[in-house]
Amino acid sequence: MSMERSLPLRAVVLDWAGTIVDHGSRAPVEAFRELFRRRGVPISVEESRAPMGMEKRDHIGAILAMPRVADAWRQTHRRDASDTDLVAMYDEFLPVQRELLAHHADVIDGVLPTIAACRQRGLRIGSSSGYAAPLMDELVRLTRAAGLQLDAVVAATDVPKGRPAPWMIYKNMERLDVYPPASIVTVDDTTVGIEAGLNAGTWCIGVIETGNLFGVASGELAQLSAEERAARRATGERTMLDAGAHYAIASVAALPGVLDAIAERLAAGERP
């Protein structure tokens, strides 16, 4: 890290599913599994989750490329999956996911107070998602009634390429009119989201318990034993830190304290 002049913290860019809504990031999992079931190639929850955070067309392609899935596809269809299959599955994914969104648009506990705390610090609040723009429009509509209001919403289809490319972070910077990247914090529950934040040059915080790494609803999380929860949290922290995250937190509820720590490091001249 280089030591430079003091720089204020200016913005936070939040992921959506698993970070601020949809505890456990379950809606995409259900959609991908339904999509492959319809093709006669059932996939597991783990296979569905592995590429989580990517733009959804890329996500489907990543699943199709998995050796077990590719072999199952060949056995079922007597050929390899083609680009035509990928396009058709993506087109079908959108209405399937739209239908599921209404059941997984819950705002995660602690998010609204955290956003209020960020605004009290004078921070702008942006967001990014692997969802396409039509799905994000629906999700924004569904969550508005719960009081979720952000300053910028960037969908994967708003940029040339989704995560781990940095373009959604840069689009947030443009819409929020904030820079440089070192004054911005990316918060995401997937490692590919952390990669995107690093590629953009921002501070990166990985979310563990409410998102893809735990993959459970809030009620299921509460039922875990203290020992299992601690063990899974430790594994999640290692995963996020190994991916390059500067910090790992259980949920967005813990974000304000970490933002204070980052602000202190910026004031001291540190950069991500």
Asked about 56 being catalytic, the answer comes back as: yes
Rounded Cα gap, residues 72 and 17, in angstroms: 29
Rounded Cα gap, residues 141 and 131, in angstroms: 14
Rounded Cα gap, residues 136 and 129, in angstroms: 8
- The CB-side HSE value for 222 (13 A sphere, CA atoms) comes to 5
Q: How far from each other are the two terminal CA atoms of the chain, in whole angstroms? A: 7
Among candidate residues 136, 142, 141, the one with its CA nearest the CA of residue 168? 136
Residue in 15, 58, 188, 189 annotated catalytic: 15
Rounded Cα gap, residues 114 and 185, in angstroms: 14
Asked about 15 being catalytic, the answer comes back as: yes
CA distances from 263 to 1, 109, 230, 258, 269 (A): 15, 24, 28, 9, 10
Residue in 22, 56, 151, 158 annotated catalytic: 56
- Known catalytic residues? 15, 56
